[in-house]
A and B are shown apart, each in its own frame.
Chain A
């Protein structure tokens, strides 16, 4: 039952080259003159794409029952979104340099 369907060589090697290519793109991007926020946003979107490729094909989640995905991923994403609440506080600190020293 666990081998109903798996990714073939063609898919695995395509994903591998895709991940290597995205990495090269990220490195080139790091040397461009971009505002830090823009750079961070682009890099994080690319990282999420890479993570999704690894989860879907290397970790095989695309070929499992949808129930496994539904159990594992949405709750994790929700927790991560909740954790971003702390950043409002950190930018407050940035305007109080005497505290950061």
Chain B
């Protein structure tokens, strides 16, 4: 334990570093306010997604003839989408690190690479949507079974696709702003939190929607 003046009066040694701890003082989390704000948004957004996922589970459990329309090409497509999103998250981690080290052009490059991953994800996903629409899937009608399948599928994947699209725009704004020294490394890190969350949500949608509806027979 060492002592210093200022709002962070107490520190503790963790992994060989002095880190501030909460002594009932002004900075209980020791993170920038923007970062705490993004975390609180993420928790609330997680509950929004959960509500949609639970609604999907409710409908599926209540329906005797839930369709399992995803043949191997669709599963491969969704698996590639998962790989793209996971890889873009790694690019984001590298971008956040570069920004923290003050390597501006490297950080901008990684941010653009991350956004590019989001664009590829969207293109693959829209292709999947168009394929299903071409087979006759509508929100309240489809050729295979329970009419609500389309509504559940398009709402859940559409909400996620909207998040990816907003994320791409957000990351590009941050990339340009950081390149012009208008935004700080904290802004890059906060945008990274959002991007990783979008990635995380897909880790639930992919098995629930695609893998559990794979046409195996």
**Chain A residues within 8 Å of B, Cβ to Cβ:** 1-7, 12-13, 16, 19-20, 23-24, 26-27, 29-31, 33, 36, 39-40, 43-44, 46-47, 50-51, 54-55, 58-60, 64-65, 67-68, 71-72, 75-76, 79-80, 83-84, 86-87, 89-91, 93-94, 97, 100
Closest B residue, CB atoms, query A80 = B50
Q: What sequence of 0s and 1s flags, for each residue 190-214 of chain B, a beta carbon within 8 Å of any chain A beta carbon?
A: 0011001101100110111011101
Task: Please report whether the interface of chain B is mostly helix, strand, loop or mixed according to DSSP.
Answer: helix
> Chain B residues near A3 (CB, 8 Å)?
100
**Chain B residues within 8 Å of A, Cβ to Cβ:** 8, 14-15, 17-22, 28-32, 35-36, 39-40, 43, 46-47, 50-51, 54, 57-59, 61-64, 75, 79, 82-83, 86-87, 89-90, 92-94, 97, 100, 146, 186, 189, 192-193, 196-197, 199-200, 203-204, 206-208, 210-212, 214, 216
> Chain B residues near A7 (CB, 8 Å)?
93
Query: A27-B79, A68-B39, A83-B54 known; 16 other A-B pairs, CB under 8 Å?
Result: A2-B186, A4-B17, A5-B17, A23-B86, A43-B211, A43-B212, A44-B204, A47-B203, A54-B199, A54-B203, A58-B90, A59-B193, A68-B31, A71-B29, A76-B47, A80-B47
Closest A residue, CB atoms, query B78 = A27
Task: Please report whether the interface of chain A is mostly helix, strand, loop or mixed according to DSSP.
Answer: helix
* Contact A76 B64, beta carbon cutoff 8 Å: no
> Chain B residues near A16 (CB, 8 Å)?
86-87, 89-90
With A43-B211, A100-B146 known to touch, is A67 a contact of B29 (CB < 8 Å)?
A: yes
* Contact A30 B212, beta carbon cutoff 8 Å: yes
